[in-house]
Structure 1
Amino acid sequence: MARKLRPETDALPFPTREAVLRYITEHPARATKRDIARAFDVKGEHRVMLKALLRELEQEGLIERRAKRLSEPGALPPVLVCEVVSRDAEGDFFAEPVTWDEERGSPPRLLVIAKRGRRGEGDVQPGIGDRLLGRVTDLPHGYEAVARAAVRPIKLLERKPSGIMGVFRATAGGGGRIVPISKKQLQEFVVDAAHTGGAEDGDLVALDVHRSGRYGLPQAKVRERIGSLKSEKAVSMIAIHANEIPYIFPEAVIAEAEAAEPVRMDGKREDWRDLPLVTIDPPDAKDHDDAVHAVPDEDPANPGGVIATVAIADVAHYIRPGSALDKEALKRGNSVYFPDRVIPMLPERISNDLCSLKEAVDRPALAVRMVFDAHGHKRRHTFHRIMMRSVAKLSYQQAQAAVDGRPDDKTRPILDSILKPLFAGYQVLLKGRNAREPLELDLPERKIVLKPDGTVDRVVVPERLEAHKLIEEFMIQANVAAAETLEAKRSPLVYRIHDQPSMSKLEALREFLASLDLKIAKQGNLTPEVFNRILARVEDAPNAHLVNEVVLRSQSQAEYSPFNIGHFGLNLRRYAHFTSPIRRYADLIVHRALVGALKLGDDGLPNGIEDRLERIAADISGAERRAMQAERETIDRLIAEWLSDRIGAVFRARIGGVTKAGLFVKLADTGADGFVPASTLGADFYAYDEARHALVGNRTGETFQLGDTVEVKLVEVAPLAGALRFEIVSEGRQGKPLNRSRHGRMAPPGRRDGEQRRPKGIKTKRR
């Protein structure tokens, strides 16, 4: 829809759609049609144009209507429940919504505006750890860089049971201080001798804040002594407790696991022990739950075809519905992997022994045999409950070296008969993958290598081998086969779904790419191929990593659901997790569903499971996000401890995130994440350019953009919280000064001679 300008006699042009969207985003409490018209001085006949513009934005999914109020999709509601998570050095409290969709990024920071006075004397005076019902309102002037919106407390709610966690540091006189373990709360707490709860120096504790004045350190009492952090695995224990991850198996669960007996051939299973299946895993893997095999298809009707087999440990045989093992597995949801330990979903008797496909040992499995044509398209598949015997336990590097002409004593005897046909089969499947065009992001992951004492030795980027891709594609095809079979049998199951990007995320990506002269069509069917074309155009360009990062951020988060919407990233219509029942409860559900649907035993899905699948899917999706959070936190703490003696050192880094408050940077060598406050960037006024993911100097035009390479100096480390603070010591890129603010109004004027400008991020308060 074309936009018309106002008559030349009017002072302001008709607002652009971008300006309207920004106003709605930044004024959650004042975004009715009347408010917007007043803000942009829209009068008379132009109100009709504004109404049409708002209707167009609503139809495109960029805004939504709640009664008369307009907001961005998923925006903050007028009234919400939030938790007070931190207090800054000047005494202001900040909160976050209790519930927040992680697909929309980090929870917004909310300034708590409460009347002054003593708590409990009429006014609502929250403290750290309190939950409150509050009304969202606009921020006071000067706070734009440190919070997204403000919230006025309506009433205090019951305090969150888990409280705050920290490490107790004893002081002379019997009391102590508590160092928080959260990046959101770096200020210490004071504990007097009467409230230590028996905590000793170095203990991880849960605490309650019982007195918090406006100035000085808040006072707390130890509510629970969790345990000592003096062991070499202390860092991961912080994340385990902070994220409430179950890590101790109840006695009933251990008893069931120890009582389990190995499966013997009894005529109920197909005997596949002569099929030369092999396991290919990381060199330090302790459990092996998948094995593979491939040979050319000898059927004359399928020239150039291949028969691929994937066998998965038969966990369903040992974990029966309703048992203690089953209940604990559902509670955990998945295994959690830290650099120094693994918190398994199942006890080691099951995961590392009875269900591990050990070399030359009989093991029960659920196998799928798939037939592909010469173009990598699957023609048919069948599932079987078998007894197998792995002929070799190989590492990825070992298998790759063998097919590359460097076999060792183990791989040399099976190179021609097993490994070469297996890799040849992968080349056939690869043709189908390439034709399908899943999303191909190039974002290598780093791995932390630890010393024997549990501290960081080095950070490496593992090489991505063809052997990795082989196992990945074989597993994907097995997962597809499982979903197709269960859907055809009309069996309940849990899909692995991945929605396409939301309209709001896509619009933000479109604006960003436009700043790089790249375009995504506004119309037509959205597929991963659209993103792949963009990524291919920048493959060898300096900004390739930047574009990959922004495309990744535009994607939705994968999850589990009994309702199928397909998997956008893999470009698959049907997809379910089948290949890792040792470490994912979702896969165990699929195994049981296959057993029941194909009449492969009496240990299938229990009756009435359909009514509970939606809740189960939500629970295991939450457990997955919990595990990812804990793993990230542990890596951050390990890296922070490693760098704690390098204050003042200068590092090469890449800008990995941009907000009004500052820049998130990632160190090039280690992948460590840190923050650069906007207040340290210089004397200019740096405005947040959302479309470009950049902070831009209003006067100089100096620009710091997502993906830029910069030099940073480490100025502060909080090892227990995993927090690093940096200052940028290199210059930003040259850019055009911002002469107008985001709403079309004139930006603050440049600094006059002799005038000291308040740096971005420093707050001006009304006392």
Structure 2
Amino acid sequence: MYIKKTTPEASVAHLSSEIEGSVQGHRDGHGFVIRDDGEGDIYIPPNEMRAVLHKDRVRVRIVRQDRRGRPEGRVVEIIERPVQPIIGRLLQESGVWLVAPEDKRYGQDVLIPKGATGAAKPGQVVVVELTEPPALFGQPVGRITEVLGEVDDPGMEIEIAVRKYGVPHEFSAECLAQARELPDKVRAQDKKRRVDLTDVPLVTIDGEDARDFDDAVYCEPAKVGRGKGWRLLVAIADVSHYVETGSAIDIDAYDRATSVYFPRRVIPMLPEKLSNGLCSLNPEVERLCMVCDMLVTAKGEVHAYQFYPAVMFSHARFTYTEVAAILANTRGPEASKRKDRVKDLLNLHDVYRALLIARQQRGAVDFETTETQIICDENGRIEKIVPRTRNDAHKLIEEAMLAANVCSADFIAQGGQPGLFRVHEGPTPEKQEILRGYLKAMAVGMTIGDNPHPSEFQAIAEATKDRPDAQQIHTMLLRSMQQAIYTPVNSGHFGLAFQAYTHFTSPIRRYPDLLVHRVIKAILGKSKYKLPALPTPGEAHAKLAKRLAARVAAPGTK
């Protein structure tokens, strides 16, 4: 008896409806459409890819299944072609100028008319703007808008990455003009209605290559209630004093959202006059700050806190390496150079140990993941990649910042104002199941419950830290959790085991922290902070809108 075979075309006839998504090219010439609805990708053959470009938004129709059983599509419409530069090398072949894209997912060289090469020379890395889109029987045409230099120039990979990923790296003329108008130092009028902390020996502790100093710390023993404890001051650069809501500097900062760090180069969120100068808590100069002033018990619990604007004077600029050496040997050469500050550092270390006890009591997750540091030679080329070791000085600052961030979240929540929280929700049921299966397969001998607490993850991490595959297990534990997000709706921080958490401590390099400062100031001033009508970041906003739309879809729909 023979069974009639159904053709691939017939088996997917019901899938011929049109689907929207984004094109992702492949270096071999074919591509895929990443569907907006989150369903499986659609394969686009090379002949269809000739008329579209990587990142185009398209509408496709599924026409068949390929030999691997993947749905194959035909592009019926290009909905949107993002305004994006193409970076590549300028070449001349048989008298014809063309640019070979650095990102091979584009799949086609761009033709450059003779009058559109500008000052570029053959072999140089250039930025191209398309003037004619590709077609089934014609290559894309463009003009050179920027010459980046020779392919082996120091730092060229950074120049390419900045443009390839659309990192805003040029401040607007209005922003730079406004920055030039700012003073070079703290003026008498800026100190009004501020607490004078210039006699308090606040210090900064950062990496050797740090240039922007957001935070300074000081600690001294204090009576807390009926017991012993500490007074811990965390002073944070008062960026909001200089960057007014809706100003030119604010608009550029909002567009950038964060500073971006590369080896040997930083693309700052704020103009350098602010990020490295007026706002940076540089040593031995007066600076404006916002202070979180805390009383911490011997058990590491924050008994009381207050926020206030102040003027400070950084008494020293320490590095993590230097502080770790002083804490390890208070009679060593590093300590002898900083005799006046050793006692303060020991107080900071004492309060850190108390905060660490509280962290362990909460059951917060603390994986010992290995961070890396890129070491470059004098020409800016990568020489080696080495592990970055976290010492007690790193952890000391981390715990002090966590304490200030928790107080900030509590202050906003109690103030009853809309604010921004850093929310980290627990793992989804699906990810829990995957993790349980993985732990069983790896013979860990421990698992997580149906409604897991962060302490369960920490217990597994502790139990497996000496295994040869500890790094892999800890990575899987981390990946089972959801990503932390910024949201005005507080639902706690799972990983840190806090009921409320936000970011307050890095307003020079993180826009959410700047917003948090404004909300705190509004509460202190008994006014209401209202988010201004700022420009909307395109791609990030579109992705967020899609994600939120998917979350509020009707029950039973995908």
Does the pair score TM above 0.5?
yes
Cα distance in 2 for partners of 1:357, 1:614 equals 30
Shift of the alpha carbon at 1:407? 4.0
Q: In structure 2, what is the Cα distance between the partners aligned to 1:239 and 1:493?
A: 33
SS at match of 2:371: coil
How far residue 593 of structure 1 moved from its aligned partner, in angstroms, is: 0.8
Matched, 1:228 2:148: yes
Measure the CA separation in 2 of the matches of 1:439 and 1:614.
37
Give the counterpart of 1:170 among 66, 69, 91.
Answer: 91
| Partner of residue 581, structure 1 | 507
Deviation at 1:88, TM superposition (A): 5.6
Q: Is 1:338 equivalent to 2:259 in the alignment?
A: no
> 1:493/1:461 Cα in 2 relative to 1: closer, same or farther (>3 Å)?
same
Distance (whole Å) between structure 2 residues aligned to residue 360 and residue 622 of structure 1: 45
Structure 1 residues 622 and 573, CA, compared in 2 at 3 Å: closer, same or farther? farther
2:281 counterpart residue number: 357
Q: Which of 9, 27, 42 matches 1:110? A: 42
Q: Is the 1:207–1:222 Cα contact (8 Å) retained in structure 2?
A: yes
Query: How far did 1:111 drift?
Result: 0.7
Tell me what 2:213 maps to: 288
2:457 counterpart of 1:535:
no
Distance 1:240 1:391, change over 3 A: same
Residues 305 and 428, structure 1, Cα contact 8 Å, conserved in 2 = no
Hey, what does 1:755 align to over in structure 2? none
> Are 1:271 and 2:201 an aligned pair?
no
Alignment of 1:368-379 (within 5 A): 368-379=292-303
Partner amino acid, structure 2, of 1:412: R
Q: Does 1:462 align with 2:388?
A: yes
The 8 Å contact of residues 30 and 49 in structure 2, kept in 1 or not, is answered as no
Quote how far apart the aligned CAs of 1:532 are: 1.7
2:365 alignment partner, SS class:
coil
Matched, 1:517 2:461: no
Equivalent position of 1:256 in the other structure: 178
After TM superposition, the structure 1 = structure 2 runs for residues 137-286 of structure 1, keeping only pairs within 5 Å, are: 139-142=65-68, 149-153=70-74, 155-163=76-84, 165-182=86-103, 184-185=105-106, 187=107, 189=109, 191=111, 193-194=113-114, 197-198=117-118, 199-201=120-122, 202-206=124-128, 208=130, 210-211=133-134, 219-230=139-150, 231-261=153-183, 262-265=185-188, 266-286=191-211
Alpha-carbon offset, residue 590 of structure 1? 0.7
**2:171 alignment partner AA:** F
Are 2:21 and 1:82 equivalent residues in the alignment?
A: yes
The CA distance in 1 between the partners of 2:62 and 2:221, in whole Å, is: 64
Normalising by structure 2, what TM-score? Answer: 0.84
Mapping for residues 320-719 of structure 1, pairs under 5 Å: 320-405=244-329, 406-408=332-334, 411-518=337-444, 523-599=449-525, 606=529, 608-609=530-531
Residue identity matched to 1:141: R
Corresponding position: 1:311 with 2:235: yes
Equivalent residue of 2:71, what SS?
strand
Q: Name the TM-score, length of structure 1 as normaliser.
A: 0.62
Separation (CA, whole Å) in 2 of partners of 1:118 and 1:310: 55
SS at match of 1:245: coil
Distance 1:371 1:132, change over 3 A: same
SS in 2 for 1:297: strand
The alpha-carbon distance between structure 1 residues 163 and 370, as it changes in their structure 2 partners (threshold 3 A), is: closer
Q: CA deviation at 1:221?
A: 2.0
In structure 1, what is the Cα distance between the partners aligned to 2:538 and 2:415?
20
In the TM superposition, what whole-angstrom CA distance separates every residue of 1:319-348 from its partner, at most 9, and x where no partner exists?
Answer: 011211111111111111111311101011
C-alpha contact 1:139 1:150 (8 A) present in aligned 2? yes
Question: Shift in Å at residue 599 of structure 1?
Answer: 1.5
Identity of aligned residues (%): 31
8 A contact 1:499–1:558 mirrored in 2: yes
- 1:594-626: per-residue Cα shift (whole Å, max 9, x none)? 1110128xxx764x43x9799899969989xxx
Amino acid at match of 1:158: I
Cα offset for 1:183? 6.0
Native 8 Å contact 2:335 2:342 kept in 1: no
In structure 1, the gaps of 5 or more residues are: 1-28, 36-68, 70-76, 101-106, 120-124, 144-148, 624-767
Tell me, what secondary structure is at the counterpart of 1:171? strand
Query: Is the Cα contact below 8 Å between 1:402 and 1:411 reproduced in 2?
Result: no
* Residues 343 and 517 of structure 1, relative CA distance in 2, 3 Å threshold: same
- Counterpart secondary structure, 1:162: coil
SS at match of 2:216: strand
Taking a change above 3 Å as real, the CA distance of residues 595 and 171 of structure 1, as seen in their structure-2 partners, is: same
The alignment yields a C-alpha RMSD, in angstroms, of 3.5
SS at match of 2:300: coil
In structure 2, the partner of 1:93 is: 31
**1:688-738 Cα shifts (integer Å, max 9, x gaps):** xxxxxxxxxxxxxxxxxxxxxxxxxxxxxxxxxxxxxxxxxxxxxxxxxxx
Moved more, 233-242 or 149-158: 149-158
1:64 aligned partner: none
Aligned positions of 1:25-64 closer than 5 A: none
- How far did residue 253 of structure 1 move? 1.0
Compute the displacement of 1:561 (Å).
Answer: 0.9
Question: Is the contact between residue 562 and residue 614 of structure 1 (CA under 8 Å) also seen in structure 2?
Answer: no
Q: Which residue of 1 aligns with 2:222?
A: 297
Q: Check 1:614–1:442 CA distance in 2 against 1; reply closer, same or farther (3 A cut).
A: farther
Rounded to whole Å, the distance in 2 between the matches of 1:617 and 1:225 is: 22
Question: In the aligned structure 2, how far is the partner of 1:585 from the partner of 1:192?
Answer: 40
Q: Is the 1:560–1:618 Cα contact (8 Å) retained in structure 2?
A: no
Shift of 1:525: 2.7
Which one has the bigger helix percentage? 2
SS at match of 1:408: helix
The code of the aligned residue for 2:34 comes to E
Q: Give the structure 2 partner of residue 706 of structure 1.
A: none
Distance 1:370 1:621 in 2: 40
Deviation at 1:537, TM superposition (A): 2.6
Number of corresponding residues: 524
SS at match of 1:256: helix
Query: Residues 404 and 108 from structure 1, CA distance in 2 versus in 1: closer, same or farther, beyond 3 angstroms?
Result: farther
Q: Report the equivalent of 1:673.
A: none
Distance in 1 of aligned mates of 2:48 and 2:104? 28
Instruction: Look up the SS of the partner of 1:420 in the other structure.
Output: helix
Instruction: Evaluate the alpha carbon distance shift between residue 392 and residue 95 of structure 1 in structure 2; reply closer, same or farther with a 3 A threshold.
Output: same
Deviations 1:722-759 (A, max 9, x none): xxxxxxxxxxxxxxxxxxxxxxxxxxxxxxxxxxxxxx
Q: CA deviation at 1:588?
A: 0.7
Say if 1:138 and 1:298 are closer, same or farther in 2 by CA, change over 3 A. farther
The answer (yes or no) to whether the contact 2:326–2:335 under 8 Å persists in 1 is: no
The CA distance in 2 between the partners of 1:237 and 1:552, in whole Å, is 32
Q: Give the Cα separation in 1 of the matches to 2:539 and 2:406.
A: 21
**In structure 2, distance between residues paired with 1:206 and 1:80:** 30
Q: State the alpha-carbon separation in 1 of the partners of residues 30 and 301 from structure 2.
A: 61
Choose 316-325 or 205-214, whichever is displaced more. 205-214
In structure 2, the CA distance between the partners of 1:492 and 1:158, relative to structure 1 (3 Å rule), is same
Partner Cα distance (1:30, 1:364) in 2: 69
